Structure 1
């Protein structure tokens, strides 16, 4: 669908009735592909620090709709508990999620994931690490 929106003029996309027609036209195709391919979602974030350190995070879930619901519920709980303010914030903004509340938020949002990895070096994720002892991995 994203490729299709790049082909259409912006004024077409601003017309709600025309966009609704597109949705009605392509919705059966999207649902058929979802039945075949599944609704799985996966996201990987690689962080390269200025000191040369590399770390990554991976989030994978079998159902996109369920993972979106879990993430939304996690943020609502954070607002209700006072860990963040309503709205959209960058993490470093004062209204954003408090540092001490981030782990709880991420664990709640990751409920039901098939793969959830945070702050690991790439070699630990891309291979099966084997501990030799005393915290030494190969």
Structure 2
């Protein structure tokens, strides 16, 4: 009887191990491919053997101009602007949604955001909030 219970225990552990090892990840065939470059930026009317730079970046140069408030512009500038807009959208949405628990990360972020927007209070306070830190 003891041998039978040992076999059942071992069989149960093997079964649980095999069932618990189910792979839930998508295969590479099921995933949507993400190109390393944005294909729409390529100018396929230019021969890559004659002017590779214009071939790869032609449409980007035709459709993107340097904004007036920037000294340079490229993919990272677009990414920075997009990220800044996304963060502002998240903060404005969070502000509209309501109250967060005192001391939570969301509350701290909103307090920092609101203090940045309140220029009148900042100007009235001047450097006095920083004086204890500057005196150290």
Q: Same fold (TM over 0.5)?
A: no
Higher relative contact order (CA 8 A, sep 6+): 1
Higher strand proportion? 1
Q: Which has the higher helix share?
A: 2
TM-score w.r.t. the length of structure 1 is: 0.24
Which structure: larger Rg?
2
